[in-house]
Amino acid sequence: MPSPQQVLEAMQGFRFDAPFADLAADLLPMFERRRPLPAGMPPPVSVVLPPGVTVGFGVDLGPAAVRVSRGLLEEWGVDLQEVTKTALGNLRRRAFAPVLPPLVREPIAGHPTIAFQSEDGWASTLLLAPDALERVMGPEPRLFVAPMRDLLIGLPPDVDPELACWLTEEFEALDPNALALEGFLWRDGRIQTLPIRTAVLSA
């Protein structure tokens, strides 16, 4: 995780009056945080995208990201549809880069598990692009969890939801910017939301 000083320096260098064309290449989709944003910050814009998740957007600054608000959209003179199209295009461009960090393969509780970190902060949002997800994580059926912005973990598709929930919450506890997602079942080139927290509560 970047230090507070690195985050502050990155934010101080951001020009809020920069035109959209200058920032478009660094625009990425971002999932909602589990914890609320600091008081006084304008609420980020969001859309609901397949597989039925709420998605915001951010300008990637390396160690930090500037969330896209309604005020930024007005400053840029673009609509939410254009921002969505641009951000998803940038995600695919990064996912299809010739060289990516390797997958980590490590069994958890006896289950074969893979994990991916992009080192650019977009690993979790592979869930929004099935073609990019398959390119990075492979075609095999899996249950994916994404506890952090730059961490995507693939478990066997029939793993106990309680284990998936436990693993997700263990990682979320380590990150103040942890996400707030359920599980995602990947099979036959399609991805669908699979509740893991609800399943545990009702067990």
Q: Using alpha carbons only, how large is the chain's radius of gyration in Å?
A: 17
Which structural domain range is residue 51 located in?
4-95
Domain's final residue, options 95, 121, 144 = 95
Higher pLDDT: 86 or 62? It is 86
Q: Is the pLDDT of residue 3 over 60?
A: no
Q: Compute the distance between CA of residue 86 and CA of residue 26 in angstroms, rounded to an integer.
A: 9
Do 138 and 174 share a structural domain? yes
Domain's final residue, options 74, 95, 116 = 95
Domain's final residue, options 58, 77, 95 = 95
Please give, one letter per residue, the 3-state secondary structure of the chain.
Answer: CCCHHHHHHHHHCCCCCCCHHHHHHHEEEEECECCCCCCCCCCECCEEECCCEEEEEEEECCCCEEECEHHHHHHHCCCHHHHHHHHHHHHHHHHCCCCCCCCEECCECCECCEEECCCCCCHHHHHHCHHHHHHHHCCCCEEEEEEECCEEEEECCCCCHHHHHHHHHHHHCCCCCCECCCEEEEECCEEEEECCHHHHHHC
Q: Contact 167/130 with Cβ under 8 angstroms?
A: no
Do 109 and 91 share a structural domain? no
Q: Contact 193/51 with Cβ under 8 angstroms?
A: yes
Q: Is the pLDDT of residue 203 over 50?
A: no
Do 175 and 90 share a structural domain? no
Number of domains forming the structure of the chain: 2
Do 83 and 125 share a structural domain? no
Overall average pLDDT of the 82-86 stretch:
97
Do 71 and 158 share a structural domain? no
Do 120 and 74 share a structural domain? no
Do 112 and 59 share a structural domain? no
Q: Contact 58/66 with Cβ under 8 angstroms?
A: yes
Overall average pLDDT of the 73-84 stretch:
95
Do 91 and 26 share a structural domain? yes
Do 41 and 13 share a structural domain? yes
Do 110 and 30 share a structural domain? no
Tens-digit pLDDT profile for residues 88-142: 999 999 999 999 999 999 999 999 999 999 988 899 999 999 999 999 999 999 9
Stated pTM of the model: 0.89
Q: Is the pLDDT of residue 66 over 60?
A: yes
Q: Is the pLDDT of residue 181 over 50?
A: yes
- Tell me the CA distances in angstroms from 117 to 75, 132, 136, 149, 198, one per residue in order: 32, 14, 10, 9, 27
Do 121 and 176 share a structural domain? yes
A 10 A CB-CB count for 22 gives 10
Tens-digit pLDDT profile for residues 150-180: 999 999 999 999 999 999 999 999 888 899 8
Q: What is the pLDDT of residue 13?
A: 61
Do 112 and 65 share a structural domain? no
